[in-house]
Amino acid sequence: KAGVTQTPRYLIKTRGQQVTLSCSPISGHRSVSWYQQTPGQGLQFLFEYFSETQRNKGNFPGRFSGRQFSNSRSEMNVSTLELGDSALYLCASSLTTSAGETQYFGPGTRLLVL
């Protein structure tokens, strides 16, 4: 089976712009979670989608949003980019949202905001 894929892998934007990142989960997986990874804050949970519904959300401002399509592919959007949004954004998929279910991570999208 193909793993989790994320596009694009690298992105450079300027402050104030918006960006959309894409994640394709492993075939058959219905849950997609997003994480932000920075040197200062580490790995932080953004949100999780299951069957096109956001089921959980981390402590991030409303500029961060996401959605999931009927084929389980997910996108996250960041509006009005700030310098501090520079990070590696990781997407993870799992079969269900059961606790303990293994999450499979993609390679990430590295976003640089100038």
* Binding interface with another protein (CB under 8 A): 4, 31-33, 35, 42-45, 47-48, 50, 55-56, 58, 90, 92, 94, 97-108
Least separation, in Å, of the C-beta of 56 and another protein?
4
Residue 15 has, within 13 A of its CA and on its CB side, a CA count of 4
CA atoms within 13 A on the CB side of 17: 13
Question: Which is nearest to 106 in space by CA: 91, 89, 96?
Answer: 91
By C-beta, is 14 or 41 nearer to another protein?
41
C-beta closer to another protein: residue 42 or 62: 42
